[in-house]
């Protein structure tokens, strides 16, 4: 059964190249302190799915998460599972809100298991050229977003391992579901903070942004990512636009096994790549 839960927020990356996660720059933009990553907030909303559905969620879980307001390191939160109109909770679907101590809804999600018989075929790897250390990231401007949309983006490699900064989304990793805890036999699958984080990191590798803010993801899992897996992320820019002085980008990112090309997850990402006033 899917259950509500409470936790304490953990900012894994206070010294990130995206300085919105550090206190100084975040305060310059009117926040109380460094922002907990949006992908980590998203993982909190999917935590009940992993607890209830286990490996099935990593194999065919689908989630749409919107982050509406900041969550800060050490701040307590509650994830409320919302009942359907008939008073029940679907065994393979739920809505959820992440609520801060002052009652603010920081984020909301729709989470479900895709029906096994109706799960869409996973994306196929294109073989995009890789970005290496000498490949410069384009400055994140509307002109360069147009260029990336037209000409495509470099692929980026990642490695799921125990020294990764996103190896846990809670300060105490033992509080995560068992199959996500590194060091446990038969466990150590990549958590959703890491999985969604790959979409952030390739975007930041392709387009230089600082600071920038993760807002929304729609993700579909196809198979769990085992410990010590090397990954390839491929990205395409879908859209970019200005809204209320912020510059937004929508991107699609697919994650593949670097050796055999198996698709692990498909992610649509929305972010503010240039904040109003920059």
Stated pTM of the model: 0.95
pLDDT digits (tens, 9 = 90+) for 40-69: 999 999 999 999 999 999 999 999 999 999
Which residue, among 67, 2, 30, has the nearest Cα to 271 in the 3D structure?
67
Quote the domain boundaries for residue 234: 5-115+129-274
Residue 122 has pLDDT above 60, yes or no: yes
pLDDT digits (tens, 9 = 90+) for 191-236: 999 999 999 999 999 999 999 999 999 999 999 999 999 999 999 9
Number of domains in the chain: 1
CB 77 within 8 A of CB 206: no
**Is the link from the previous residue into 211 a cis peptide, with omega within 30 of 0?**
yes
Q: Is 49 helix (H, G, I), strand (E, B) or coil?
A: helix
pLDDT digits (tens, 9 = 90+) for 104-121: 999 999 999 988 777 889
What number is the average pLDDT over the span 268-274?
Answer: 97
pLDDT digits (tens, 9 = 90+) for 151-198: 999 999 999 998 999 999 999 999 999 999 988 666 799 999 999 999
For 261, counting Cβ atoms within 10 Å of its Cβ (0-12 exposed, 13-18 middle, 19+ buried), the class is exposed
In a domain, 10, yes or no: yes
pLDDT of residue 277: 78
CATH number of residue 184's parent domain = 3.10.129.10
pLDDT of residue 184: 64
Grade residue 89 by pLDDT with cuts at 50, 70 and 90. Answer: low
Grade residue 86 by pLDDT with cuts at 50, 70 and 90. Answer: low
In a domain, 164, yes or no: yes
What number of other Cβ atoms are within 10 A of residue 60's Cβ?
20
In a domain, 45, yes or no: yes
Which residue, among 218, 207, 216, 217, has the nearest Cα to 17 in the 3D structure?
207
Which residues are 112's β-sheet partners? 62, 93
pLDDT of residue 134: 81
CB 40 within 8 A of CB 73: no
> How far are the Cα atoms of 33, 135, 181, 250, 272 from residue 140, in angstroms, in the given order?
24, 15, 36, 13, 10
Q: What proportion of the chain, given as a percentage, has pLDDT over 70?
A: 96
- Strands (DSSP E) contained in 12-123 are 61-67, 76-82, 93-99, 105-113
Record the tokens describing residue 150, joined without a space: 């037209």
Residue 85 has pLDDT above 80, yes or no: no
CB 194 within 8 A of CB 164: yes
Residue 129 has pLDDT above 80, yes or no: yes
pLDDT of residue 261: 96
Q: Tell me the pLDDT of the chain averaged across its residues.
A: 94
Quick one: CA torsion of 98, 101, 103, 108, rounded to 10 degrees? -10
């Amino acid at each position: 059964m899917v259950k509500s839960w409470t936790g304490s927020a953990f900012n894994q990356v206070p010294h990130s190249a995206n300085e919105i996660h550090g206190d100084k720059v975040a305060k310059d933009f009117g926040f109380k302190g460094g922002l907990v990553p949006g992908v980590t907030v998203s993982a909190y909303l999917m935590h009940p799915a992993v607890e209830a559905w286990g490996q099935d969620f990593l194999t065919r879980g689908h989630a749409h998460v919107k982050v509406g307001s900041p969550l800060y390191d050490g701040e307590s939160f509650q994830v409320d599972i919302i009942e359907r109109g008939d008073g029940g909770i679907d065994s393979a679907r739920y809505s959820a809100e992440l609520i801060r101590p002052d009652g603010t809804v920081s984020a909301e999600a729709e989470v479900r298991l895709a029906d096994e018989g109706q799960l869409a075929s996973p994306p196929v790897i294109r073989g995009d050229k890789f970005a290496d250390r000498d490949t410069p990231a384009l400055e994140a401007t509307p002109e360069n977003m147009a260029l990336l949309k037209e000409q495509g983006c470099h692929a980026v490699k990642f490695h799921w391992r125990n020294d990764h900064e996103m190896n846990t989304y809670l300060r105490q990793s033992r509080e995560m579901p068992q199959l996500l805890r590194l060091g446990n036999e038969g466990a150590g699958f990549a958590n959703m903070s890491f999985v969604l984080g790959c979409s952030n990191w390739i975007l930041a590798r392709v387009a230089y942004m600082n600071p920038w803010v993760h807002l929304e993801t729609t993700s579909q899992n196809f198979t769990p990512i085992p410990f010590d897996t090397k990954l390839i992320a491929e990205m395409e820019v879908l859209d970019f636009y200005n809204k209320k002085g912020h510059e937004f980008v929508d991107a699609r990112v697919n994650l593949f096994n670097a050796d055999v090309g198996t698709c692990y997850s498909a992610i649509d990402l929305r972010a503010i790549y240039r904040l109003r006033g920059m």
